[in-house]
A and B are shown apart, each in its own frame.
Chain A
Amino acid sequence: MSAVEFSINTLKIFLLWFSIVNVVPVMLWVERRAAGLIQDRPGPNRVGPFGLFQAIADVIKFFWKMDPVPKHVNRFLFLIAPILSLIPASLTLAALPFADKMVIWGREYQLQVSDLHVGILYMLAIGSLGAYGILFGGWASNNKYSLLGALRASAQMISYEIPLGLAACGAVLFFGTFSLRGMVFMQDGTLFGGLLPKWGIFFQPLGFLIFFITSLAETNRVPFDLPETEGELVAGFHTEYGSMKFAMFMMAEYMNLATMSGLMTAMYFGGWHIPYVSDATLLSWLGGSVNLLAIVQLGVFFFKLYTFLLIYVWIRWTLPRFRFDQLMRVAWKNLIPLSMINLIVTAILLYFWEMR
């Protein structure tokens, strides 16, 4: 790899990472405006037009706040916990296929950090490391609220890991590959003579439903935000955190949310494909320019990703939260058996489909 290629690749990785980090300020604004809309109040509307600069104002305020390290905490773990939750959140986006490829100076660059052969396994594995940041943060804080929040968070995250893995396994079973890029390529085209786009959701409806519910729990969102129930635990595992260290936990949470949305887009909603328009047709419309095609694909991918994020916000301000025992019951008694049934049904249907 030459120096030019290496620097272009590094720039590409940074830009892809930055595009996911950018979800955080956008969501800070969207979440509060949508909350206002749903609860029939204006929401933030003072900083800039429609309160658009509210997120920037928030970040500035976070930076200029005092950043105390309380005396009773375990200093090392307290400082390292926000970084430990930010690193897995950054690493998981490596396998997301944002768009096909760009050609710069005669060299092809895939718009994906790395097309791993074990894409889905990698994302599940690194995604579960996020529990360490929360657990360390909660334990190091030396506060009863934090400890309880961290315990709940880890119990919840490991319980929902199993249905998440089994639901993703259904998609692997159908597509026959671990590579997310390969999955997106297989979703190009239409079904039943042009009636439906050839998306994963039409083959794995139950799998998608389980994956979606589980992703809410994995990212600690309402209705599964037991680790930070304001009514019982103040703020859960980040009670003792302030300033930018608190904001880093929030960043990690929103980045995980964005990666989960991207994963669902790639696995069940056709990734970068526009419904009913195949890649080849689109390429001929754009005059055969691969780079233009990649930009359109990026737009489509992020449109789908942000649609999922909007659905998350909508759910957050609509549903009440579960009780902790209900949460565990949903995971073990409903989601795990359902995802096993999904696997069995998919396997049997695939058998008869291939035997035709």
Chain B
Amino acid sequence: MDLYLPIAILFIIGAGAGLVIIGLSSILGPRNPQATKLSVYECGVTPEGSARIPFKSRFYLIAVLFLLFDVEAVFFFPWALVYRESVRTGDAGLLFAMLIYMGFIALGLVYIFRKNVLELD
């Protein structure tokens, strides 16, 4: 509990600072709304339609790839933590286990390169 209570205090400080800043700036700032001030920021033309337009599906693919590779990368952390202790006893098992796992990830990377998933044009 002693480890995470300070983080809760930090959260309160951060969120409080954000609320205070927004509150202060809405109190201190002048209020003079005009139709042009409240319209969409554009270079003189009136924007056509909604801004929530369909966008390139490549962004979706990147998100999926991120999920895959980030989950794979997370598995390295516990391995990295115990690796030094383990090899000190002369056991190379963890080294080879990691090399095999890394081989699978490299295969996946090569596959997405060959499929041109990342060519965003």
Contacts and interface: CB of A to CB of B under 8 A. Distances in A.
**Size category of the binding interface on chain B:** 35 or more
A302 interface: no
B62 to A, nearest CB: 5
B53 A147 contact: yes
Contacts of A63: 24-25, 28-29
A216 interface: no
B118 A83 contact: no
A115 interface: yes
B26, B84, B98, most chain A CB atoms within 10 A: B84
9 contacts: A68-B38, A71-B38, A90-B14, A93-B10, A116-B3, A147-B52, A155-B62, A174-B84, A245-B25
A280 interface: no
Contact of A166 (B4, B14, B50, B73): B73
Interface string A109-127: 0000111110001000000
Contacts of A240: 40-41
B48 to A, nearest CB: 10
A282 B70 CA distance: 42
Contacts of B119: 325
Given A82-B18, A162-B69, A70 B77 contact: no
Contact of A147 (B41, B51, B90): B51
A13 B120 contact: no
Given A83-B18, A142-B40, A142-B51, A62 B11 contact: no
B39 A151 contact: no
Interface stretch (A49-57, A193-201, A257-265, A345-353): A345-353
Interface residues of A, number: 84
Contact of A113 (B7, B15, B120): B7
Contacts of B118: 328-329, 332-333
Given A90-B17, A159-B66, A347-B95, A165 B74 contact: yes
A94 B51 contact: no
Give chain B's interface secondary structure class: helix
Contacts of A121: 77
Given A86-B14, A151-B55, 14 more contacts: A10-B9, A64-B30, A70-B40, A72-B39, A87-B11, A94-B10, A117-B3, A147-B52, A172-B80, A176-B83, A176-B84, A243-B29, A333-B118, A344-B99
B2, B11, B18, B38, most chain A CB atoms within 10 A: B18
Contacts, number: 207
A301 B80 CA distance: 27
A354 B87 contact: yes
Contacts of B39: 70-72
Contacts of A90: 10-11, 13-14, 17
Interface in B66-121: 66, 69-70, 73-74, 76-77, 80-81, 83-85, 87-88, 90, 92, 95, 98-99, 102, 105-106, 109, 112-113, 118-121
Interface of B: 2-4, 6-7, 9-11, 13-15, 17-19, 21-22, 24-26, 28-33, 37-41, 47, 50-53, 55, 59, 62-63, 65-66, 69-70, 73-74, 76-77, 80-81, 83-85, 87-88, 90, 92, 95, 98-99, 102, 105-106, 109, 112-113, 118-121
Contacts of A174: 84
Nearest to B35: A71
Contacts of B92: 351
Contact of B87 (A158, A324, A351): A351
A244 B25 contact: yes
A1 interface: yes
The 9 closest A-B pairs by CB, nearest first: A90-B14, A244-B25, A83-B18, A173-B80, A158-B66, A172-B80, A176-B84, A114-B6, A325-B120
A169 interface: yes
Interface string A10-48: 100110010001000000000000000000000000000
Given A86-B18, A90-B14, A336-B109, A146 B83 contact: no
Contact of B105 (A170, A340, A350, A354): A340
Contacts of B41: 143, 145, 234, 239-240
A177 interface: yes
